[in-house]
Amino acid sequence: MANKTYAAVMANKTYHDGAVSGARRVVDAALIVLLTALCLVWIYPVILILSNSLKLETAISTATVFALPTSETFVGLANYVHGVTKMNFLASFGYSVVITLTSVALIILCCSMCAWYITRVNILASKLMYLLCAFSMVVPFQMVMFTLAKTADTLKLNTPFNICIIYLGFGAGLAVFMFTGFMKSVPLAIEEAAMIDGCNPLQIFFKVVFPILKPTAISTAILETMWVWNDYLLPTLVLDIKKYRTIPMAIQYFRGSYGRVEMGPMMACIMITVIPIIILYLACQKYIIEGVVAGAVKG
């Protein structure tokens, strides 16, 4: 009894409470119907884009957007082919992947090392670094966007390969904060034992500490990936939009620059952006949801 979880008690109430049970079962059935309807509303926007991405260009207008493709208006994957070639979408996809992977890898590696250092070495600089990281999480991007873009230009960080340094700097706040939050609960004894066995600090970190940090690393990686992959403003200001376009940049760019936007290819590109996210989400849902909860509790 003592360790009954909330969910167990709630479930128990539902099915075994005698007199209440009948009424509750009706309520539950009604709720399931309601939730199912709500879920359909929830995914409807994506379905709408999908249906329009399969339609003939001339059949798409604000008045007919809700009509499903018919045999006359159905064009199969033509919009997808056109969108991908015209917007050079594969290149954008590539840039987004490269930037996200390098940035997140760099953030996880550097920030976990930094967090270990500032929890284990008790000097003023460590405390200062921690406070600044916490502070940086609240500062809105607009505060630094202009000067950051100028700094990036001066230091030649304006390519898809170097931009990860800026992401490391701006993403460090959250990552260091999360890693130190976890590090504080890791006992010193194991590391001391490793030291007595003759490990140097680098070996201690990679052989002993990092494996312990793995759950936090996964949570942090998920939060940082969600941020970098979807980020629009930072790459827009730092990268040369004529040469390098990430996915959010490409979508905004093609909407703004062409007088009449071709809706079909545009929606096809949106689908190409959304589908991998959905697949990835369904595949590692457990980690993503755990990551969000862990991040929220620390933050």
Partner 1 sequence: MENAIKKYWPVFLLPTLAAFIIGFIWPFIWGIYLSFHKFITVSKTTFVGIDNYIKVFQDATFVEAFWFTARFTIVSTILINVLAFALALTLTRGLKGTNAFRTVFFLPNLIGGIVLGYIWQILLNGLLTNLGLPLLALDAKYGFWGLIILMCWQQIGYMMIIYIAGLQNVPGDLIEAASIDGATSFQTLIKVKLPMVMPSVTICTFLTLTNSFKLFDQNLALTGGEPAKASQMLALNIYDTFYARAGAQWKGIGQAKAVVFFLLVISISLIQLYFTRRKEVQQ
For partner 1, the binding residues in 78-137 under the rule CB under 8 A are: 110-111, 113-114, 116-118, 120-123, 125, 129, 132-133, 136
145 forms part of the interface with partner 1 (CB under 8 A): yes
Instruction: Choose which of 4, 16, 184, 242 interacts with partner 1 (CB under 8 A).
Output: 4
Q: How many helices (H) and strands (E) does the chain have?
A: 14, 0
73 forms part of the interface with partner 1 (CB under 8 A): no
Assigned token pair, 164 = 């990860």
Residue identified by tokens 């049970």 is: 21
178 forms part of the interface with partner 1 (CB under 8 A): no
Give the contact letters, 13-52, x = binds to partner 1 (CB under 8 A), - = no. Answer: xx-------------x--xx--xx-xx--xxxxx-xx--x
Instruction: Choose which of 69, 160, 191, 239 interacts with partner 1 (CB under 8 A).
Output: 191
**Distance in Å, CB of 166 to partner 1, minimum:** 5
3-state helix, strand, coil in the chain (%, to 5): 75, 0, 20
279 forms part of the interface with partner 1 (CB under 8 A): no
Q: Which of residues 249-278 bind partner 1 (CB under 8 A)?
A: 251-252, 255, 263, 266-267, 270, 273-274, 277-278
Cβ-proximal residues to 213 (8 Å cutoff; 6+ apart), any chain: 112, 179, 182, 183
Pairwise CA distance, residues 237 & 158, whole Å: 9
202 forms part of the interface with partner 1 (CB under 8 A): yes
How far is the CA of 72 from the CAs of 53, 78, 87, in angstroms?
Answer: 14, 14, 26
Contact, 264 vs 55, CB < 8 A? Answer: yes
The stretch near partner 1 (CB under 8 A) out of 72-80, 84-92, 210-218, 230-238 is 230-238
**Distance in Å, CB of 252 to partner 1, minimum:** 5
241 forms part of the interface with partner 1 (CB under 8 A): no
**Distance in Å, CB of 155 to partner 1, minimum:** 7
186 forms part of the interface with partner 1 (CB under 8 A): no
Assigned token pair, 137 = 């999480």
Instruction: Rank residues 78 and 292 by Cβ distance to partner 1 and give the closer one.
Output: 292
Q: What angle do CA 127, 131, 137 make, to 5 degrees?
A: 150
The stretch near partner 1 (CB under 8 A) out of 68-76, 87-95, 213-221, 285-293 is 285-293
Estimate the crossing angle of helix 78-86 against helix 263-283, to 10 degrees. 100
Residue identified by tokens 């008690």 is: 9
165 forms part of the interface with partner 1 (CB under 8 A): yes
Instruction: Choose which of 142, 187, 198, 257 interacts with partner 1 (CB under 8 A).
Output: 142
Pairwise CA distance, residues 288 & 293, whole Å: 9
Pairwise CA distance, residues 77 & 87, whole Å: 16
212 forms part of the interface with partner 1 (CB under 8 A): no
